[in-house]
Structure 1
Amino acid sequence: MNRAADVTDAARPGTELGPPPAPIRDRDRYLDLWRAVALVRVVTYHVFGWVWLTVLFPAMGLMFALAGSLMANSLDRSGSRAVGRRLRRLLPPLWAFGAVTVPLMLLTGWGPAPGASLGWGELAWWVLPARTPPVGSQSWAWAFNSVLWYIVTYLWLVLLSPALLALYRRWPWPTIAAAAALPVAFVCNVVTIGGYFNEQALNISSYLACWLLGFAHHDGLLRRIPARRYAIGVAVLAVAGATWVLVAALRTGTFDLNRIPGGNTLWSMAFVATVLRVRPRLEWLERVRPLNRAVELLNARAVTVYLWHLPMGMIAALLLPPLTFPNWIGGIVIRLAGVWLLTIVAVAIFGWVEDIAARRTAALVPPPLGRRSAAPAATPRPAAARPPGNRWHRLMVTTVAALAVGLVTTAFNVSLTPTLSRDRQPQHEVTHYLSDLLLVLDGAAEPVPAQRDADVLPGTVTVDGEIYPRAVVTAAPSRLRVDPPAGCDQFHAVIKVGDGGGGADADEVTFSVRADERTVFDSGARTRASEAEQIDVDIAAARTVDLVTTGPARSSAIWADARFDCSP
């Protein structure tokens, strides 16, 4: 079938695009449905930690693409004022979340100042989150900011959108191609940022291409590509992304798409491009009223659900362990139901803030919406422009689905044999000792020396009668941050409460290890009388690792023989 006539000048590189005519203000039910499903997937992933969900359904890339489409629509309607309106919708729910989080952290013993260059000034990011807002050193504090990277990345992309939209409309395909290549350049060290905003730059680079695909969806550019060319292009993206994810996962031992830059972008783009091209009829949704209402509520309270679901999940995990589940399916259902029930409570308490931010009348439960358009809001298509049964579209969907199932199947096999890659080639493993790396202690970017014993060589400690030639000793409470070398997936250490520092024998010190702000080990309370403990922690190729100790001032904490095992 010849579709060459569908390609207009607007689709050719180097030809300036303009905004589509006569935008319609009705919401797009198809996009709302996908946004609701993506939010459910995010909550499920955080409840169970199923990394295979990230490759089966790359929800974050889709959420950024949907947001990009809405942002382009807003810019066409309101110009640069749309930036302020988007920030007005985003920030008040975050402020309400911070108004609970920050006092809670301070009242329960925040610990040392945030480990970044601004110290306590880092709290300013709770007002304007250009960086991830900090939390305290409590072992549970990670649940209150580990998802905020999305809010930060969204903020930056909104601020950049006027310039990005102008650039995209001048050179559409070169701009999208450059955005897709950017994370690859970061991974290959062709482009490096470093410095204070390095993490934010990496996150923006990972999802910029999906944001621009949202622009292309809004402008109708994706629809104007002939079906055969579109399907082949998506298939190439999908194969490239799936191959990158597979190779990286087998090398590092994790299929978590969030930890595979480059592959994350390519695979997410293939998924997003498929979703934005294929549009089934959705009249059935209005007939299934409970489901239709759930989609409306999730969209009306999306930011509140996203912010509060992880703290509520932590509370649910504390409440549910005493219960006995009849089987594993019952356990999944009960845990998921518990998290959603607690999240609904949080939404009932704080969700009205989204109404105020949107300049709607505050309501405990948002009222039902009227009949909405099932076609794209800004670019209604003729019925004959893209037949739903086009064989190229079916082939595209089948290809992406088959690759996703293949990745999930491989992820299950790898998770059942977690030591496979290490058992195959143990001779190639490289060890990096903590004492040899650049450490950051409470914001001071300098190497932290190990404690010196009087009768042994400098940099060694004696723990329970055994001499360790490499150790790092800190005064609790403390947070020690290190960026592990590439390919590191295991952290080992011998932990012990030290005799130095002037603390009392009964003082309780807790050791914890955080990988990319997520707690992966917690020792519980230990005293000087506690025996030394060997810990072996899976850090899953984390970008940053924090060694956190909590306890009374003047207590000392020993990380003896601390080292990372890495693949070259």
Structure 2
Amino acid sequence: MDGAAQRAGPGVGTDSSGLGSASPPRDLAIDLARFFCLALVVISHCMMASPVLHADGTVTTENTLAEQDWFEPVIWIFMVMPLFFVAGGITGLQSWRRLRDRGGNGYGFAQARLLRLIRPAAALLAVMFVGLWGALLLGVDPQVVQLLASGAGMPLWFLAAYLAAQLNIPLLERLHRRAPWLTLAGLAALVVAVDCFRGAMPLIAYVNMIFLWCAVQQLGFFMADGHLARLSTSRLVGLVAASNLLLGVLTGLGLYRDNMLVNLNPPNFCLFLLGVSQAATLQLAKPALDRIGTVRWVRAMVALAGRRSMTVYLWHLPLLGAMAGLLLLTDFPKPASGTAEWWWSRPLVLLGVVLLLLPAIALFGRLEDRPTASVHSRGRPRAAVVTAAVVVFVPVADAAFNGLSLPHLGGGSACFTLAALLLGRVPALAPEPLPAQALSANVEP
């Protein structure tokens, strides 16, 4: 077996067309990559959020990590959001092909994807709405309530971007089959075109929430089809070096900021180059990740987090904000942001968030499971699926442009719940349903 075949690992197969197996086995490397990304996001947020109670009674938040001089080059390496979408492209493409081969269509794919993501989000928004209204009635300062409400908006932008990219998978897969490189180049060109006009029309920059993340997702298609696995180690290393060199040139010339957090919102071409680098790095690391993934306790830990990854992602930041807000009301020691004591307290903060996540996962984790009807059930009308998608994106877009407030939480929860009711249950398309005990983070409907 040559080096390229070894790098392909157990999760990449090919059919007669060379476009990948319709029913690939579990990909342990993708499981571990997504677990690493999720863990890094939770850890970094615990190092960023720092509420401060001032002498006049006002409360503000400080992003301690982003204020460090050494952070900008570090975030260049650890900005893992593109890797989320690369992994989403791999699993989404495989899921769509499995569904299509079992007689499904694009509307059924959209129905399953929407249900998997909006049911956990609807529960989060409802709990936050009720909880924050209760806090107002108990006399908590409205400014504190607004800070907690706005904090929930950070996970929601990812949900909107991820949904937009995933819902386009059937169309993008068709284009990918016909002209993979032309499709990728076209999406990248659209990203650059939007970047060129963002100075004159700032709002147009948010269009890249679709173009940019669809382009990065498309890199996952290339991994799933084995294109990157057929490259030699030296070519993959060259791809990593070239993408980072181009990124250095663009930021060095001042065309883009060298702060990847700034480049993330709204996203720009820098994130695509990071995605290229991270996709090639993931391909290089696949043999090692596959070996690590075969360790029983590692597989069990990754599987548990993978099945409840959306619950962890959505709930960790609101729980962090709630915990910090409650601590402000007590005499618990509150070291000044950025001091040595503050840094030493971060492991305790992380532990507190993890402990709070456990009951949240127990209560709401099952909402990530796909509600599947019997094999004889009919799919929802296409109009219902389209309406549900519109109902979901309208409040999210409103919050993105106008900020998230308490009324937005209530309205968003109502819209998400309505969308879930419109979508109903996903009819089974095979004599036997997908195994309920599937453990892989990337085994999706």
TM range (shorter): 0.5 to 0.7
**Cα displacement (A) at 1:63:** 0.7
**Cα displacement (A) at 1:273:** 2.3
In the TM superposition, what are the counterparts of 1:18-29 in structure 2 within 5 Å? 19-21=19-21, 23-24=23-24, 26-29=25-28
The 3 A distance-change label for structure 1 pair 89 and 148 is same
Instruction: Report % sequence identity.
Output: 28
The 3 A distance-change label for structure 1 pair 256 and 249 is farther
In the TM superposition, what are the counterparts of 1:160-309 in structure 2 within 5 Å? 160-189=168-197, 198=204, 201-245=207-251, 256-259=262-265, 261-281=268-288, 282-287=290-295, 289=297, 291-309=298-316
The letter of the residue matching 1:67 is: G
**Correspondent of 2:84 among 46, 63, 66:** 63
Q: Identify the residue that residue 314 of structure 1 maps to in structure 2.
A: 321
**Cα displacement (A) at 1:296:** 1.4
Q: Identify the residue that residue 360 of structure 2 maps to in structure 1.
A: 346
The letter of the residue matching 1:30 is: A
Question: Per-residue CA shift, 1:230-262, capped at 9, x if unaligned?
Answer: 433332112112343455599687754414622
1:33 aligned onto 2:32: yes
Distance in 2, Cα, partners of 1:351 & 1:277: 33
**Cα displacement (A) at 1:347:** 1.5
1:85 aligned onto 2:112: yes
The 3 A distance-change label for structure 1 pair 162 and 356 is closer
The 3 A distance-change label for structure 1 pair 170 and 299 is same
**Cα displacement (A) at 1:224:** 2.1
Is contact 1:180-1:209 (8 Å) kept? Answer: yes
Q: Secondary structure at the match of 1:224?
A: coil
**Correspondent of 2:123 among 90, 93, 96:** 96
Paired residues, number: 329
In the TM superposition, what are the counterparts of 1:374-453 in structure 2 within 5 Å? none
Distance in 1, Cα, partners of 2:256 & 2:92: 37
Is contact 1:241-1:265 (8 Å) kept? Answer: no
Distance in 1, Cα, partners of 2:313 & 2:133: 23
Q: Identify the residue that residue 439 of structure 2 maps to in structure 1.
A: none
Q: Secondary structure at the match of 2:154?
A: coil
Q: Secondary structure at the match of 1:138?
A: helix
Greater RCO between the two (CA within 8 Å, min separation 6)? Answer: 2
Q: Identify the residue that residue 323 of structure 1 maps to in structure 2.
A: 333
In the TM superposition, what are the counterparts of 1:491-506 in structure 2 within 5 Å? none
Distance in 2, Cα, partners of 1:40 & 1:355: 21
**Cα displacement (A) at 1:332:** 1.7
Q: Secondary structure at the match of 1:280?
A: helix
Is contact 1:19-1:219 (8 Å) kept? Answer: yes
Q: Secondary structure at the match of 2:345?
A: helix
Is contact 1:257-1:264 (8 Å) kept? Answer: yes
**Cα displacement (A) at 1:181:** 3.0
Distance in 2, Cα, partners of 1:36 & 1:355: 18
**Correspondent of 1:145 among 153, 156, 180:** 153
Distance in 1, Cα, partners of 2:163 & 2:282: 24
The 3 A distance-change label for structure 1 pair 226 and 106 is same
TM-score normalised by L of structure 2: 0.63
Q: Which range moved further: 142-151 or 78-87?
A: 78-87
The 3 A distance-change label for structure 1 pair 248 and 100 is farther
- Alpha carbon RMSD of aligned pairs, Å? 4.0
The 3 A distance-change label for structure 1 pair 277 and 188 is same
Question: Per-residue CA shift, 1:417-467, capped at 9, x if unaligned?
Answer: xxxxxxxxxxxxxxxxxxxxxxxxxxxxxxxxxxxxxxxxxxxxxxxxxxx
Distance in 1, Cα, partners of 2:194 & 2:94: 30
Q: Secondary structure at the match of 2:287?
A: coil
Question: Per-residue CA shift, 1:516-535, capped at 9, x if unaligned?
Answer: 769xxxxxxxxxxxxxxxxx
Unaligned ranges ≥5, structure 1: 7-15, 111-135, 360-480, 484-513, 519-568
The letter of the residue matching 1:168 is: H
The structure richer in helix per residue is 2
TM-score normalised by L of structure 1: 0.51
The 3 A distance-change label for structure 1 pair 331 and 240 is same
Is contact 1:69-1:217 (8 Å) kept? Answer: yes
Is contact 1:89-1:358 (8 Å) kept? Answer: no
The structure richer in strand per residue is 1
Question: Per-residue CA shift, 1:66-91, capped at 9, x if unaligned?
Answer: 11111110121112233322222222
**Cα displacement (A) at 1:284:** 4.1
